[in-house]
Chain A
Amino acid sequence: MDKAKNEYTKEKFQRVHVREELGEELTRPQLSYWKDAWLRLAKNKGAIGGLVVILFIVAIALTGPLMNDYSMDDANYDAAYMPPKVKGLSWLGLDGMQTYEVQGTTVEDAIQRGLDGYEIEEKYVQNTEVIEEPNEGNDNYYKVAMEVDIYGAKGLDDTYYWFGTDSMGRDLWTRIWKGTQISLYIGVLAAMIDMVIGVLYGGISGYYGGRTDNIMQRIIEVLSGIPNLVIVILMIMLLSPGLLAITIALTITGWIGMARIVRGQVLKLKNQEFVLAARTLGANDKRVLMKHLIPNVLSVIIINTMFTIPSAIFFESFLSFIGLGLQPPDASLGTLIDTAFDDYRVYPYMLLFPALIISLLMIGFNILADGLRDALDPKMRR
């Protein structure tokens, strides 16, 4: 111990070059608000996962329809109701096998009826399984599930429909991704409406205050009292269902929530010193609003927009589902799910894929929106 102490003599210590100008420097690089927010977001595994899911879906939605040679509305009645089949993915169940449930007085009878009914040669039946013995409840019939190599039976051995085909033999892969494009368009549209109409309306209303604010708020009050659904349904009936009608309907109703939030924020900010300073320096209204107030509300705007997107996507698919949205032969995820409902008992894959994609898309946007809220506005963290 003593020895060690002795080794550190005063001569051994000298000051390194002194730089006065660094005296005030912070040890860590300064982070801008946005960088800080990004770091917080990047730490949130869920939000990043959501972002990845969204980007993945966007990428396939844009390129997917080009990946095979089928087009959106090429009907091919020889290949109707083909189950999904992907080369090399048969272990995932995408093997082109179709299971039919058939009934008969004996097992053989049931299978024979199935073969006749679906016009299949016996050699293509891969597997049979009795799922119900005769009993009172089913009029003493055997119920048999038979697995059929339908691609072979129809002589389409070298054909692959990745997501199967629908009742008209249209390729579902192409239709589903085209439908996803519609959902994404609706999402982008809703975001634009929020950002442009909502922000301007709320900003102007809050900034000018007084009489202007009063009138604008009364309009909002009345508009928001009308359920969205009612406005949308009325617009759609007026314009005949379709993408245009949904677009206009969203334009009428979509911005109200955003306008309210922006107005509240602007009311809070407009009396603060930095606005006064800007005005003293001669900034006009437009400049104060666009350069000083809106940037300060930006985080709230982004958060709110992110929550609007999934609800708009839901609304379009909901309308399409009840038959008020897109009309055939156009397809959106909602119409695809709606048509799948007609025969999903025999062909569940028709329901599965669009349902899966819309659910993933909605979950992705919701998780990302949550993450953005936590990252941009730590005070609002839940």
Chain B
Amino acid sequence: MAKYLIQRLIYMIITLFIIITATFFLMKIMPGSPFNNLGGKITEEQQALLEEKYGLDDPVPVQYFKYLTGIVRGDFGVSFQYENRPVTDMLLERIGPSAELGAQALIIGAVLGIILGMIAAIKHNTWIDYTSNIVAVIGISIPSFVFAGLLQYYLAVKWRLFPVSFWESPIHTVLPTIALMIFPMAICARFMRTEMLEVLGSDYIELARAKGVSNGSIMFKHALRNALIPVITVLGPMTVSLMTGTLVIEQIFAVPGIGEQFVSSINTNDYPVIMGTTILFAVLFVVVILIVDLLYGLIDPRIRITGGGKD
């Protein structure tokens, strides 16, 4: 276990190092300078001064080294667009709404999905099962931004049940949360249904039935617990979907989160912010995958954790 953990951590560090390096050098060869947007308003001299101020006139290896050592200390540099704002501060300030939105969507989506999947499995091959299957397919298929647009148009603009956008009170979070949770919900429902069906067909459930255990007790004490374990594995794809989801959902509903910031920083060539957000996303992703793998091994002893990993 310890050996496996160390091995995984080493891979994590290598992966992150490659991401940071690739991000940095791609930014360097990218066309356009952060001061392009000023469009002829500054002279060459002023531009040179600005570049000196932000350390852009150093040789690239020096810049790279500075950046790497900065990251280790939690310093992602200074934004080019917002005078002297450290990227770390900007990200910290924006992480609140994103985390709130993401957590709400993840928790509500997962719980609803698990309930839906469980009911579908219990009522296997009835109209309830078919309906929940259709809901799951639609949830997986329809792109989140399409769904968000429909929600916004009907529930906010037409019927005025919810505010159209912004992030001010709990009621403002309703529509973005629904739009973001539909995918995790669909995945969970699908997965849960499969697992539940498999568990319900197993011998120990037969035995429990033969012993005369009540139906409710079988469902909740025996079946649900065992069916829940593999659902952990969908946490990985769910996190990815939440990450990509926040980019568009935050834009559509004007949520002041990381995703919205990322999209706007791409449009303004604000390299330090882009790099900072990219690295943040990468760290989040890698850590979640690691946690999923570890949790899975801990909860289900049948899964042998070896160097081979998930293959």
Q: Which residue of A lies closest to B311 (CB)?
A: A264
Are B240 and A351 touching (Cβ within 8 A)?
A: no
Most chain B CB neighbours (cut-off 10 Å) among A225, A263, A365: A225
Q: Which residue of B lies closest to A356 (CB)?
A: B146
- In chain A between 7 and 33, which residues have their CB closer than 8 angstroms to a CB of chain B? none
Which of A222, A238, A363 makes the CB contact (< 8 A) with B15?
A222
- In chain A between 321 and 367, which residues have their CB closer than 8 angstroms to a CB of chain B? 321-324, 337, 340-341, 344-345, 348, 351, 355, 358-359, 362-363, 365-367
Which of A318, A324, A362 makes the CB contact (< 8 A) with B145?
A318
A297–B26 Cα gap in the complex (Å)?
A: 38
Is B266 part of the binding interface, using a Cβ–Cβ cutoff of 8 Å? Answer: yes
For the complex, would chain A's binding face be called helix, strand, loop or mixed by DSSP majority? helix
- In chain B between 243 and 276, which residues have their CB closer than 8 angstroms to a CB of chain A? 243-244, 247-248, 251-252, 263, 266-267, 274
Q: Which residue of B lies closest to A236 (CB)?
A: B266
Is A240 part of the binding interface, using a Cβ–Cβ cutoff of 8 Å? Answer: yes
Question: What is the CB-to-nearest-CB distance from A327 to chain B, in angstroms, rounded to a whole number?
Answer: 12
Is A221 part of the binding interface, using a Cβ–Cβ cutoff of 8 Å? Answer: yes
Are B23 and A234 touching (Cβ within 8 A)?
A: yes
* Residues of chain B within 8 A of A365, CB atoms compared: 141
Is A217 part of the binding interface, using a Cβ–Cβ cutoff of 8 Å? Answer: yes
Are B278 and A221 touching (Cβ within 8 A)?
A: no
Question: What is the CB-to-nearest-CB distance from B294 to chain A, in angstroms, rounded to a whole number?
Answer: 15
Question: What is the CB-to-nearest-CB distance from B308 to chain A, in angstroms, rounded to a whole number?
Answer: 9
Q: How many residues of A contact B (CB 8 A)?
A: 43
Q: A234-B278, A323-B267 are in contact. Are A345 and B15 (CB under 8 A)?
A: no
Are B282 and A344 touching (Cβ within 8 A)?
A: no
Q: A322-B248, A345-B157, A363-B137 are in contact. Are A227 and B281 (CB under 8 A)?
A: yes
Are A230 and B278 touching (Cβ within 8 A)?
A: yes
Q: A230-B19, A234-B26, A240-B31 are in contact. Are A337 and B149 (CB under 8 A)?
A: yes
- In chain B between 150 and 189, which residues have their CB closer than 8 angstroms to a CB of chain A? 150, 153, 157
Which of A225, A238, A322 makes the CB contact (< 8 A) with B30?
A238
Are B251 and A322 touching (Cβ within 8 A)?
A: yes
Q: Which residue of B lies closest to A355 (CB)?
A: B146
Interface string of B12-41 (1 = CB under 8 A from A): 101110110011001101110000000000
Are B286 and A217 touching (Cβ within 8 A)?
A: no
* Residues of chain A within 8 A of B29, CB atoms compared: 238
Are A362 and B141 touching (Cβ within 8 A)?
A: yes
Are B142 and A228 touching (Cβ within 8 A)?
A: no
Is A286 part of the binding interface, using a Cβ–Cβ cutoff of 8 Å? Answer: no
Which of B22, B26, B142, B282 makes the CB contact (< 8 A) with A227?
B282
Are A229 and B143 touching (Cβ within 8 A)?
A: no
Are A351 and B153 touching (Cβ within 8 A)?
A: yes
Are A367 and B142 touching (Cβ within 8 A)?
A: no
Q: Which residue of A lies closest to B134 (CB)?
A: A46
